[in-house]
Amino acid sequence: MNSEEWEQRCTDVKNEMMAHVSSFVTPISMSEEQGFGVAWGSGGYLGDEENSWLITASHVFSDAPNGAVLAHLPRPGEEYVAINAHPDLARWLVDVAAVRVARLPLNSEKKFIPKNRLAQRYSAVESELLFWIGFPGFNLARHDPLVADKRRGSMFGELQLPALGMLSQSVQGDELTHQAFDQNKHIEIMYPNAAKKAAGEPEVSLPNAKGMSGSILWNTRYVEMQRAKRNWSPLDSVVCGVVWGALDDPEVILATRIEYIRESIKSPFS
C-alpha cells in the first residue's frame, strides 16, 4: 500500500483503540493539601470477579512527597478517590506498581481490563502498531524543560487532565545503549517532537511526556492480523507492557515488557 493508505489505516486504528481503551485508564493526582491536587501519573484498571487493582509505575508512588495523597478518577467529571491501600512495588528496572482499589461504581463509564487481555510475554511482530493513553502532567511541549508552574493543577476545585492517545512503533535496528534501558526487559517506542493527529493533516507538537508514567501499553496486533489476512478489531489487542520513562535523545518512550511485570508482581497478573 502507498503512504497515504498507510496513514489512513493508522488513523483508523488509533481512533478505534482510543474508543476501546479509554474506559480502562485513569489519571493519577497528588495532593499535599485539602482541596488542591496536581497531575502526577497515569494508570489502568485491572480486575477479575473478586479483586480490583490500579496498575501504574512504581515511581509514581515512590516519588510522591511524604504525607501526600495519591488518587484516581473512577468517575470522570467527579471527584478523585484517594488511594489508601499499600501498593505492591517492583522498582526499576521493572518500575511497576499494583494497588488494590474498590470495585468501580456500576454507573461509571470506567471498567477493568480482564486478565485474559494480558499477554503472557511481549511478542509484537516487526513494525507492529503499539498504543497507549497517558495524561501529560505539564502544559509543555515535547522538549520543553520542566517548570513547576506549568504543572497541571486544580482550577476552581476541579482537576481536569487531557488524555493523549498515541499510536507508534518500537524502534527497529540498533539497540539503545542508554543506562536506563535494558534490552531484555524494556521496549523503546518512538515518541517524536511532532506527529499527525489524522491522515492528511499537518504535524502538531507532542506534549512533554512527564505524567504519562504508568500508562498501559497495548500491542494492537494490527500488523500481525494483516499479515495473516485476518480482519482486525481492537478486541484483538493485548496488554504488553507499562510505560515508565522517556528520553529526549533519542526521542523514545520506555516501557517494561509484560513477562517481567508478571514475574515481579504476582497477584494481579497470576
Q: Minimum mean pLDDT among 81-85, 172-176, 191-195, 258-262: which range?
A: 172-176
The pTM of this model reads: 0.96
pLDDT at 180: 81
Surface-to-core class of residue 199, CB atoms within 10 Å of its CB (0-12 exposed, 13-18 middle, 19+ buried):
middle
**What DSSP character marks residue 22?**
G
| Domains contained in the chain, CATH given | 3-269 (2.40.10.120)
Who wins on pLDDT, 176 or 91?
91
pLDDT at 108: 80
Read off the amino acid at residue 172: Q
**At which residue does the C-alpha cell 529526549 appear?**
248
pLDDT at 64: 97
pLDDT at 174: 67
How far CA 267 is from CA of 48, 83, 96, 113, 261, in Å, comes to 11, 18, 13, 15, 11
In 3D space, the residue among 130, 144, 249, 131 whose CA is nearest the CA of residue 206 turns out to be 144
Surface-to-core class of residue 34, CB atoms within 10 Å of its CB (0-12 exposed, 13-18 middle, 19+ buried):
exposed
Mean pLDDT of the chain: 93
Residue 79 pLDDT exceeds 80: yes
Read off the pLDDT of residues 162-179 as tens digits, 9 standing for 90 and up: 999 999 999 987 667 777
pLDDT band at 104 (very low <50, low <70, confident <90, very high): confident
Q: Minimum mean pLDDT among 51-55, 206-210, 212-216: which range?
A: 51-55
How far CA 46 is from CA of 108, 221, 241, 269, in Å, comes to 15, 20, 13, 9
**What DSSP character marks residue 18?**
H
Those residues whose C-beta lies under 8 Å from the C-beta of residue 107, and which sit 6 or more positions away, are 75
Those residues whose C-beta lies under 8 Å from the C-beta of residue 80, and which sit 6 or more positions away, are 29, 37, 71, 72, 73, 159
Residue 53 pLDDT exceeds 90: yes
- Whether the Cβ atoms of residue 100 and residue 86 lie closer than 8 Å to each other: no
**At which residue does the C-alpha cell 511526556 appear?**
209
